[in-house]
Structure 1
Amino acid sequence: MLLAMDVGNTNTGLGVFEGKKLVANWRLTTARDQTVDEYGILTRDLFTVAGLAPAKTAGVIVASVVPPVNSTLAQMSEKYFGIKAIFVEPGMQAALPVRYDHPEEVGADRIANAVAAFDKYGGPTVVVDFGTAINFDVVSARGEYLGGVIGPGIGISADALFAQAARLFRVEIRDPGKAIGTNTAGSMQAGFYYGFVGLVDGILERLKKELNGRVRVIATGGQAALIAPGSRYIEAVDEHLTLDGLRLLWERSPGR
């Protein structure tokens, strides 16, 4: 079995693969101050609840955009699974060519998404990942990571509005069904939903023009299922794209 960990600023996704099949997955709050033992005990307990044997784990791979937890996860992997974890980096041999000006700046999750997108959908492809930030990652027809766009995520945008506007209150972010709100809650929902649909489609329209042709657009991440139905360009939502990318990177890693 393979344990894949996608460590984001807000949430951490864990997935267990048997071969190419994802047999269990969980989404947890990213905890920067947890100890090696806390991570280890929690992870092993999740295995137990799912009816999986931690001792059968053959590999651990991590995509992390939260450097403070990397050492903790590396130690956890060795102590609780007896395995040296692989950490995704842009220059790793198993990854695709990166055409960024400074490849070391590309987040590990963006590399995993690009690898999975090209393997599953070909290229050119744009991956829209709805997380703390909204990432747009572009993969060429030859399987190269070309770069992309980074924008503010829905959650942090909502948090900023609620924190700075004294008379506005938290609302459920959803499709209100119409743009003209007839009350404060409906007006805010329209602003969040249609505002981010417009942001996403506006950026995708520009990316498609720059790529001079038909481009597949795949969405993933926590808010993908909410925004994708309102988009003119998103073709599919692939909930486990990042975890699939981690599996592919692990399978292609020499000497694992």
Structure 2
Amino acid sequence: MILVIDVGNTNITLGIFDKEELVSSFRMTTKIPRTSDEYGIMISDMLRTRNVEQSDIEAVIIASVVPGIMHSFKNGILKYIKKTPFEIGAGTKTGIKIATANPREIGADRVVDAVAAYDLYGGPLIVIDFGTATTYDLISADGSFLAGVTSPGIRISADALWNQTAKLPEIEIKKPASILAKETITSMQAGLVFGCIGQTEYIVKKMIEESGIPDMKVIATGGLGKIIAESTDVIQIYDPALTLKGLKIIYNKARGK
């Protein structure tokens, strides 16, 4: 079994692959400071609830955009899972050519998403990840990462809305029945969700227009992406496990499989 881990700004998402099948996934929060022992014990316990022992894990692969926790996190894996984790970084064989001005600036999560989307669905395509930030990445027919757009994620926008105003409450992020809201909570939900839908449609349209590539697929992932994907026809596929699949694909490439 292979343990794949996506360390994001909000959550750490872990997946277990048995051969090529994703058999389980689970999450923990990123922002709580933890020691290597806490990380190791939590991961070991989560594995055991899935009837997986540390001896069942052949390898661990990580993509991280949170360097500040990685020393403790990787040490926890080494101490409790007994494997030295393979972390994706500059020089990792991915099959994607980064054709931007500074390739090292592209986050590991975006590269992993691009690898998965291109390998599973083919190019040209736009990959949208509705995470802490919402990212839109353009991948050409030959697998080159050509351009990317970064905007605040839905939850960042929501946090700003209720933390920077005196009377607006913290709310559940969901799509209301109508944009014609009659009270405060649904008016906030309408602004957040319909605003993100509008942003998605406009950015995708402009990326297609300015790239001159009319026949692009649009693949979406990310925790809140399902709400948006179900509400617009510019997204063809919503794949919630895209990043985990990309990690396994990169592991296979790195091992020459």
TM above 0.5, yes or no, is yes
Where 1:3 maps in the other structure, the secondary structure is strand
CA contact (8 A) 1:90 1:111 kept: no
Counterpart Cα distance in 1 of 2:173 and 2:256: 46
CA contact (8 A) 1:96 1:144 kept: yes
Counterpart Cα distance in 1 of 2:94 and 2:215: 27
Identify unmatched segments of 5+ residues in structure 1.
none
2:213 aligned with 1:216:
no
Deviations 1:142-167 (A, max 9, x none): 01111210000011111111011111
Deviations 1:23-76 (A, max 9, x none): 110022114521111111111111111011210211111110000111122212
**Displacement of 1:96:** 1.4
CA contact (8 A) 1:91 1:104 kept: no
Identify unmatched segments of 5+ residues in structure 2.
none
CA contact (8 A) 1:94 1:249 kept: yes
Partner residue, 1:42 = 42
CA contact (8 A) 1:220 1:241 kept: yes
Partner residue, 2:110 = 110
Where 1:230 maps in the other structure, the secondary structure is coil
2:231 aligned with 1:230:
yes
Query: Sequence identity of aligned pairs in percent?
Result: 40
Counterpart Cα distance in 1 of 2:14 and 2:153: 21
Partner residue, 2:24 = 24
**Displacement of 1:236:** 1.4
Tell me how large the CA RMSD over aligned residues is: 1.5
2:21 aligned with 1:51:
no
Counterpart Cα distance in 2 of 1:185 and 1:75: 44
Amino acid at match of 2:228: I
Partner residue, 1:246 = 247
Name the TM-score, length of structure 2 as normaliser. Answer: 0.95
2:123 aligned with 1:120:
no
Residue correspondences, number: 256
**Displacement of 1:185:** 1.5
CA contact (8 A) 1:116 1:248 kept: yes
The list of structure 1 runs, each at least 4 consecutive aligned residues, that deviate by more than 3 angstroms after superposition, is none
